[in-house]
A and B are shown apart, each in its own frame.
Chain A
Amino acid sequence: MKTPILAAAVALAATAVSAQNMPEEVTEPVTITFYNYNLSSAGNGADATKKMIAEFEEANPNIKVEGVPVSAQNLVTRVQADIVAGQSVDLSQMVFSSLDFAAQNLGAQALEDIVPAEEMAEHFEGMVPNGLALGKLDGKTYGLAYTFSTPVLFYNADIFREAGLDPENPPKTWAEIKEMGLQIKEKTGKLPLATGIFGPSALDWLMQGVIRSNGGAVINDDRTQMTFAEPEAVEAIEMLRDLAKNGVMQNLDLTSQMDTMAAGNVAMYLQTSALQGFLVNSAEGNFELRASTMPSFGDKPVRPNNSGSALVIHSTDPVKQRAAWELMKFLTSKHGYTIITSEIGYLPLRLDIVDDPEYLGNWVKEHPLVQPNLDQLSVLEPWVPMPGPNYLQIQVSMMDALEEATFGNNDDVQGILSAAQEQAQNLIP
């Protein structure tokens, strides 16, 4: 760890010097690197990203963008290795759960420290405040929300009809999920509910939203105390355990759940809205796919949080910072978000483009499935990153315990979570 810490220290020291030194424009040719996980896959994400980069380069002839494709799972490792190896890491598409680590160890620059305040305010105009808050840590914007989404309840209208349920009235609460789930199980024999809550690659984003919707949290506001064994969290897990015990939900692998839904064998599927395109293609000619908002706990308000990524500037060179900021502005502009939403399937950070026919207006009309996702933008809350260098360990040990408490043989949910919370607490710096 010594070398990355040293590198980060160097980066932070350089930030202090370069703060507010960003030139007004890029006058000489400069190349910046953009570590991007959409580029590491084939399909819409990569195509749209390449298209946006090409458009940006055409509009900014002095700036060349070198896209570095890295999968989301390996992005932190690669950025860390490249910083130590002396490679230029200028801009990255960082998963929100790694944001704290990026700020502490990967030289992530707070925009307030490098971008002139009035320019920042001008660009942020029209952006959803909840969306802007996603990339903030300790009052500073380390990441600007880029490709992000909310949890949506997709459902198979054909299975609903087969079970004697009305597809016009999807479940709004977890109690209704159980009630309808039991009916679906009995009448159709299909799996009532699949989710993206559990599984090695699920991380903790969806779980945070479930616990929060019951008035709890997995960690306190200043991120010093784990709270996933508090009564509200325990109650939320007991609800999930009840669903599992009644056969409404099963402990399946994350990909299996996605594919079982796509194959038309699951009635309801709570997962990121980013899967919409995939599910629409799979459902075509096979079943009627619909979507609703995340279920609530009785009358309590639904508090979904986002999944996805933010744009983070790592460069300490003022010219490259300017180039990276220009790219960041382009990607999160009205035009950029039109491409991101309509061609990749993520949420727009700017709601004013949703009804504007020049941007997303017509597309939203043609794609009604996106509506629940848009509805949740106004109540969106941040996916809170675990603090310190052990953030992944904290996340994994917490999620393992929550999974055991939901699907394991031991009925003592409180006991399992309290023990795990104590363990996770020791990993917080």
Chain B
Amino acid sequence: MTIDASFPPGAVPRKRRQTAAKWETGIGHALMIFVSLLCVFPIYWMIVTSLRSESEIFSTSLWPNAADLENYRYALSAVPMVRMLVNTFIISIAVTVLQILTGILAGYAFSRWKFRGSAFIYGAVALTWLVPLQVVMIPNYLLVARLGMIDTLGALILPHFASAFAILLLVQAMRSFPTEVIEAARMDGAGHAEILWQVVVPNLRGTIASLAILVFISTWNEYFWPLLLSRSPENSVVQIGLQMFITAEGTQWGPLMAASTMASLPILLIYLLLQRQVIASFMKSGLR
């Protein structure tokens, strides 16, 4: 057996390893680029379709022959899109604030006190998460009707005043909050309100921000409850507006894509501006 002294042992394998690692990284990147393109393409196609004329709507070319904003003009005139976008924004913000508020209060109560029946109530709250919206839609509708709130934005917010998801997430976060800090605050003479708002909540900013993003997105995308409640387009939300372009006499693809583009802009903005936070919120709470 001879050894080639000019070629130090181990050098070849290391180089090979580096080459292999480069290849692996390259393949990994190529795969990720491919998957990213797959994810982005529907959004691109939506925007491109929204710029096509009616006779070109089924064209498979990647770019419209003559891009124009006619579909946007029509979508804005046929359906009160701006009003619907404002309504959806108001409702999403209101539901987000309310769910976080009720979630914080309930979370603090469940995590700080062991009162009689607390485990049962906590279990009952958790179980409501398993009840599909469709089951409670009609009873909720009757309640809203008896309150005289049909065709109001309030009725779209009311059933979402509190949610099991927000409560469970905040209870878990508060239970893992160090009790020493709370005890220290108590020693300093702080009451429960002070402890909650000045000690606990500022330290849970990350969790609360994640929750806010998730609640906002799911409220923005909600369809069934507004569908049942909607009595006039002016008091409805943008998801109902989109459905208005799908008719028994054919789908108006151009205006539908224009309206969809407008409807997805706020969510796309959230993703662009709060990218890290959005990913963290999905990681923390599990994909919804």
B57 and A78 contact, CB distance less than 8 A: no
Known: A42-B255, A259-B58. A85 touches B142 (CB 8 A): yes
B252 at the interface (CB under 8 A from A): yes
B150 at the interface (CB under 8 A from A): yes
Report chain A residues within 8 Å CB of B58.
259, 262-264, 282
Known: A69-B232, A87-B145, A263-B58. A81 touches B248 (CB 8 A): no
B230 at the interface (CB under 8 A from A): yes
Of A41, A69, A78, A284, the contact of B228 (CB 8 Å cutoff) = A78
B249 and A43 contact, CB distance less than 8 A: yes
Number of residues from A at the complex interface, CB < 8 A: 39
B251 at the interface (CB under 8 A from A): yes
A291 at the interface (CB under 8 A from B): no
Report chain A residues within 8 Å CB of B247.
41-43, 45
Which of these binds chain A: B22-30, B181-189, B238-246, B280-288? B238-246
**Cα separation A345 to B250 with both chains bound (whole Å):** 11
The residues in A between 1 and 21 inclusive whose CB is less than 8 angstroms from any CB of B are: none
B213-254 toward A: CB 8 Å interface, digit per residue (1/0)?
Answer: 000000000000001101111000000000111111111110
A258 and B250 contact, CB distance less than 8 A: yes
A279 at the interface (CB under 8 A from B): yes
Of A85, A274, A344, the contact of B145 (CB 8 Å cutoff) = A85
Of A69, A81, A279, A284, the contact of B230 (CB 8 Å cutoff) = A69
Report chain A residues within 8 Å CB of B230.
69
Report chain A residues within 8 Å CB of B145.
82, 85-87
Would you mind naming 26 contact pairs between A and B with Cβ atoms under 8 Å apart?
A41-B245, A41-B246, A42-B244, A42-B252, A44-B249, A68-B231, A69-B230, A69-B231, A72-B248, A74-B227, A81-B138, A81-B228, A84-B142, A86-B145, A87-B145, A264-B58, A274-B248, A275-B250, A277-B249, A277-B250, A278-B251, A279-B250, A282-B57, A282-B250, A285-B55, A345-B249
A-B interface, 10 closest residue pairs, ranked by CB to CB distance from nearest: A278-B250, A263-B58, A85-B145, A41-B247, A42-B78, A285-B55, A42-B244, A42-B79, A41-B244, A85-B142
Known: A69-B232, A86-B146. 8 other contacts (CB 8 A): A41-B243, A42-B247, A43-B249, A44-B249, A85-B145, A86-B145, A278-B249, A279-B250
